[in-house]
Amino acid sequence: MLKDRPVDGDLLSELLGPLRLRGVFRSRWTARAPWGVTGEREDCALLHYVSEGACTVELPEAEPVLLGTGELAVFPHGAGHRLGDAPGGPAVPLDGLLPGREPGLARRVSIDGPGPLTAVLCGGLHYDAAAAAPLYRALPQMLVLDRAAIAGEPLLGDMLDRLAGGWDGGEPGLEIVALRAFELAFVLALRAALANLSEGEPILRALRHPAVGAALLAVQTRFAEPWTVESLAEESGLSRSAFAAAFRELVGEAPMRHLTARRMQEAARLLAESTLPHSRIARRVGYQSTVGFHLAFKQWHGLTPGEYRKNADVRAGGKGFW
């Protein structure tokens, strides 16, 4: 019987390494109870780091989560949620407190009240979706790191404390420094969160499963090879049927669809960041036929490769969160 193994370091690096932030809206909040703020889902990752006091986080149809001093909540997919001093209380819309949250800006928010003080660092982290590994979609809606988990990543704790303590002035070069600091904190937080997930989480089971993990590493790093379900199963050391069933259960989609996602991700990155002709990009992502590549790309992204390349600059815009 195959046994779970620790997460392969190379696979974890492949999954998290390509994440690149292209803009951060950051804010520092001081709020005295009673208070509550609610925000809708947005197209960026989010983080809340409590530097003083405590607060609760509520997702729809989930139990409230208490964040204490020195604890962090990460929302990889920008899930809408409520933040407040206690669960279930009144809440004001985020847009009313922080309208026009453009990447690159920094704001302070103060909410007065008679109760205890809470201070929170918040960030709306716009990452390059074309560079994120397809398995990123399988991350939970919220990842929580307690003080023990953050202590296991000393650089993460130090970075969060520094970000919570300042960096919203107008000094030259400050924006790029803050961007890279949030980028590092984001990747470190995801790495620590994956290491501390419960054993039942599908993404952790996928990463630790010896057969599925081997296939994920092959897809992530060798996507240009002429893979089939049979050859991926052979790479993984399972029969075709057993491999396909395990992969679908743990990853949430069929092996060949996951492979197509990885190929289309890399194709989009090359179209946006290079001047390579479409024929060379097709071969780099595993297509021998340029026509076949065009058809697959259009079906996946809703645009032809040429249209995607022309619109690359337009897609770089967007708002931050919190």
Quickly list DSSP for 62-101: S--EEE-TT-EEEETT---EEEESSTT---EEHHHHS-S-
pTM above 0.85, yes or no: no
Instruction: Residue 173: count other Cβ atoms within 10 Å of its Cβ.
Output: 7
Q: How many helices (H) and strands (E) does the chain have?
A: 13, 11
Whether 79 shows a pLDDT value over 90: the answer reads yes
Instruction: Residue 230: count other Cβ atoms within 10 Å of its Cβ.
Output: 12
**SS3 label, residue 243:** helix
pLDDT tens column, 230-271: 999 999 999 999 999 999 998 889 999 999 999 999 999 899
Whether 4 shows a pLDDT value over 60: the answer reads no
**Total count of residues recorded for the chain:** 322
* Domains of the chain and any CATH numbers: 9-195 (2.60.120.280), 209-310 (1.10.10.60)
Asked if residue 16 lies in contact with residue 76, where contact means CB atoms within 8 angstroms, the answer is no
Whether 194 shows a pLDDT value over 90: the answer reads no
Q: What is the mean pLDDT of residues 126-131?
A: 78
Least confident of 6-10, 138-142, 162-166, 193-197: 6-10
Q: What is the mean pLDDT of residues 204-210?
A: 85
pLDDT for 98? 93
Closest CA relative to residue 308, chosen from 103, 137, 129: 129
- Phi first, then psi: give them for residue 139, nearest 5 degrees: -65, 145
pLDDT band, very low/low/confident/very high, at 206 (cuts 50, 70, 90): confident
Least confident of 105-114, 174-183, 221-230: 174-183
Whether 318 shows a pLDDT value over 50: the answer reads no
Exposure string for 182-195, b = 16+ CB within 10 A, e = fewer: bbebbbbbbbbbbe
What percentage of residues in the chain have a pLDDT greater than 90? Answer: 63
Cα distance between residue 28 and residue 154, in whole Å = 22
pLDDT tens column, 20-66: 788 999 999 999 999 999 999 998 999 999 999 999 999 998 999 99
- Dig out the tokens for 88 from the structure: 């279930």
Whether 316 shows a pLDDT value over 80: the answer reads no
Residue predicted with more confidence, 93 or 190: 93
DSSP assignment of 96-154 equals HHS-S--TT-EEEEEE--SS-EEEEEEEEEEE-TTTS-GGGGGS-S-EEE-HHHHHTSH
Tell me what the pLDDT averaged over the chain comes to.
88
Cα distance between residue 184 and residue 201, in whole Å = 24
pLDDT for 84? 97
Whether 315 shows a pLDDT value over 70: the answer reads no
Burial class of residue 63 in the structure, from the number of CB atoms within 10 Å of its CB (0-12 exposed, 13-18 middle, 19+ buried): exposed
Closest CA relative to residue 206, chosen from 194, 192, 191, 188: 194
Whole-number CA gyration radius for the chain: 21
